[in-house]
Amino acid sequence: QVQLVQSGAEVKKPGASVKVSCKASGYTFTGYYMHWVRQAPGQGLEWMGRINPNSGGTNYAQKFQGRVTMTRDTSISTAYMELSRLRSDDTAVYYCAGVVVPAAISPDYYYYMDVWGKGTTVTVSS
């Protein structure tokens, strides 16, 4: 079945880096963008950026520019999100999310996130 399996919870100290993985199965990993979304405790969803698994091209939200790096390994259908210079307010659940098949509504294609990982909890604490 279509699924995204994320790596396990992490505890990091301020100033460190964290790298979260997301392994896709059941659909064409290189077909469409993979997105990363985070959610701080009790807060809303925050879009961090996306990677084109085919080309490796990335787009990052301005808030994370310079601190986030998204990569992929197509041989194992896995995307990665690395966040550096961690602060306490980076404590959050980090989700990967993708689209299996976009909607073709003539004359356009519409994209969304219809497959999600279960989330990876990252705790930043001294």
Partner 1 sequence: DIQMTQSPSSLSASVGDRVTITCRASQSISSYLNWYQQKPGKAPKLLIYAASSLQSGVPSRFSGSGSGTDFTLTISSLQPEDFATYYCQQSYSTLWAFGQGTKLEIK
- The binding site for partner 1 (CB under 8 A) comprises 35, 37, 44-47, 50, 59, 61-62, 95, 97, 103, 105, 110-114, 116-119
The 3-state DSSP class for residue 62 equals helix
| Residue number with CB closer to partner 1 (73 or 114) | 114
| Residue number with CB closer to partner 1 (71 or 102) | 102
Least Å distance between CB 126 and partner 1?
A: 26
Stated length of the chain: 126
Whole-angstrom CA distances from 24 to 1, 41, 54, 81 are: 10, 26, 14, 14
Least Å distance between CB 125 and partner 1?
A: 21
Least Å distance between CB 103 and partner 1?
A: 6
Helix or strand run (H / E) with residue 21: strand 18-25
Whole-angstrom CA distances from 4 to 15, 79, 89, 119 are: 28, 10, 25, 10
| Residue number with CB closer to partner 1 (52 or 71) | 52
